[in-house]
Structure 1
Amino acid sequence: MSESLSDRLGAGEMLHLPARVTHARRGGIRHAFVYRVDYLLLDPDAVRPPRLFSRNRFNLFSLYDRDHGGPRGDGSGAAWAQRVFASAGLEGVRVALLMQPRFLGYWFNPVSFWLALRGDRLLAVIAEVSNTFGQRHSYLCHHAAFAPISPEDELTATKVFHVSPFQDVRGTYHFRFSITGAAAAIGIRQIDGKEGLKATMSGDFSPAGSARLLRSALRRPGGAMRVIMLIYWNALRLKLKGAEYRKLPAPPDHEVSR
């Protein structure tokens, strides 16, 4: 029987997720890709990191609090997530972060997820979205009265933040979350009439020891550097297919959409 997510995080374990990430654009210009991307899941305030991972200092892989939670580059990490959950009426929860770490000091994270857990019940998620233009916006996802989120549930949010220069800032996001001590599966659909996209990430968790981190670095060299290169490569492919480039609009005047 696999150990529960709460037990693993409570013991200070950091989990490695070699996620299968898919994107499929729908509408007049179709485009799709599938890649493996390395994510880590941890409780930043309880984690006992392996030698090749550090918090707030340089290493092969690292997590800096300023990279997450609050203004981009000036975040406050888990304390910010606790404040956001509390301001929405949710207190007394364990906060965990599912993210792509820095690689040799380089950081870029298209989307990270702050999880609010009570035992093994997932009560809320903050989807923290960063674009390639230096901006960030977050979407707080939860049920009324913070009822537990099940894998079959779909949570919605209005799109208000510019992500891809080949899509308009309109439509609706539809989120699905399934996260246990053994595996994770997250789905995001953006619907804008006949346009939109579907993105998924899924995989099995393993203990994120130094040997596993080193293997992931050798199998997918570059970490976050590789991710940003793949983003620009697919942007070029879309442009060559005739996708219209949209100018960068002003960001939302609020930090978190609720």
Structure 2
Amino acid sequence: MLDHVVARTHHSRRGALKNAFTYGVDFVLTDLGPDWPGLISCNRFNLWSIHDRDFGGPRGQGRGVAWFREVLAERGFLDDSAQLLLLAQPACLWFQFNPVNFWIAMIDGTPRAFVAEVNSTFGQRHCYFCAHDDFRPITRSDQMAAEKMMHVSPFQKIQGTYLFNFGVTSDAINIRISYENGDQGVLATLSGKRQTASNWSLLRAALRRPLGAARVVALIHWQAGILTLKKAPFLRRQPAPELLISEGSRHRDPTG
């Protein structure tokens, strides 16, 4: 199974210094099975490609879905009927980068657990595992919380909390990540319709948004330049967290 998600991502900064942007992006949602269109490949060069080394484990040393299966088993998720999916931006030609990609365990069409695999332009990676204690379905209204562990943006501190709202249905992806640190933080969303990937949809993506992930990195640096001109406080590269993966939990509003 390979779906092409023609999506939009929106980011808006919380706090006194405002900044917001919305861009189009192309993701794929796949069980990493066979029978992909000719313009995308698994573990070999193509116009678009997914390589195990880029996902599931330390950055550049990934083991793909085998890593995700081990993460689930270590936490007591042993359902062999689960469909294990990767939601990510594929590499375009030689270049791969995902600010965040997701491993998703699905049963009966509903997500039961996910790992947010966060990558920084500093070359670091940290993963956040989120699920209910009993692995019941995660609905779009459920808010999963995880303590921020890694330096991602030079304009945000390594403290505070990520709040994930995770929506995956048979026809759409809707993900909301709110990073909150007092009155500071960032709201990020990813939303788009699922469609079966085809050579034509993949070719259109390459023409509509040339160079794929390289374009994403260029846009990240463009927005960093805008924040620098706005005199946003700048935090230099910080040490990577010792652990690769940390645990999230169901968020409970202290106000009731």
Q: Distance in 2 between matches of 1:106 and 1:86?
A: 32
Q: Report how far residue 196 of structure 1 moved.
A: 0.7
Q: Write the letter of the residue equivalent to 1:31.
A: N
Q: Report how far residue 183 of structure 1 moved.
A: 0.5
Counterpart pick for 2:171 among 176, 182, 204: 182
| Residue of structure 1 equivalent to 2:136 | 147
| In the alignment, structure 1 residue 78 sits paired with structure 2 residue 78 | no
Counterpart pick for 1:42 among 30, 33, 36: 30
| Residue of structure 2 equivalent to 1:52 | 39
| Residue of structure 2 equivalent to 1:249 | 238
List runs of 5+ in structure 2 lacking aligned partners.
Answer: 248-256
Deviations 1:40-76 (A, max 9, x none): 00001x2421000011110000000000000100100
Counterpart pick for 1:98 among 76, 84, 87: 87
Q: Distance in 2 between matches of 1:55 and 1:77?
A: 11
Moved over 4 A (4+): none
List runs of 5+ in structure 1 lacking aligned partners.
Answer: 1-12
Deviations 1:162-182 (A, max 9, x none): 100010000011000111110
Q: Report how far residue 119 of structure 1 moved.
A: 2.1
| Residue of structure 2 equivalent to 1:164 | 153
Q: Report how far residue 248 of structure 1 moved.
A: 1.4
Deviations 1:56-110 (A, max 9, x none): 1100000000000001001000000111111111122221000000001211111
| Residue of structure 1 equivalent to 2:5 | 17
Q: Any conservation in 1 of the 2:110–2:169 contact (CA below 8 Å)?
A: no
Counterpart pick for 1:127 among 116, 135, 149: 116
Deviations 1:183-223 (A, max 9, x none): 01000001110101100010111111111100111111110
Counterpart pick for 2:14 among 23, 26, 44: 26
Q: Write the letter of the residue equivalent to 1:78.
A: V
3-state SS, counterpart of residue 144 of structure 1: coil
Q: Report how far residue 121 of structure 1 moved.
A: 2.2
Q: Write the letter of the residue equivalent to 2:244.
A: E
The TM-score normalised by the length of structure 1 is: 0.93
3-state SS, counterpart of residue 104 of structure 2: strand
3-state SS, counterpart of residue 134 of structure 2: helix
Q: Distance in 1 between matches of 2:92 and 2:37?
A: 15
Q: Distance in 1 between matches of 2:233 and 2:98?
A: 25
| Residue of structure 1 equivalent to 2:254 | none
Q: Report how far residue 251 of structure 1 moved.
A: 1.1
| Residue of structure 2 equivalent to 1:136 | 125
Q: Distance in 1 between matches of 2:74 and 2:178?
A: 27
Q: Report how far residue 28 of structure 1 moved.
A: 2.2
| In the alignment, structure 1 residue 206 sits paired with structure 2 residue 195 | yes
Counterpart pick for 2:208 among 212, 219, 224: 219
| Residue of structure 2 equivalent to 1:69 | 56
Q: Report how far residue 245 of structure 1 moved.
A: 1.1
Q: Report how far residue 250 of structure 1 moved.
A: 1.1
Q: Write the letter of the residue equivalent to 2:4.
A: H
Q: Distance in 1 between matches of 2:103 and 2:226?
A: 31
Q: Distance in 2 between matches of 1:47 and 1:156?
A: 35
Q: Distance in 2 between matches of 1:197 and 1:144?
A: 27
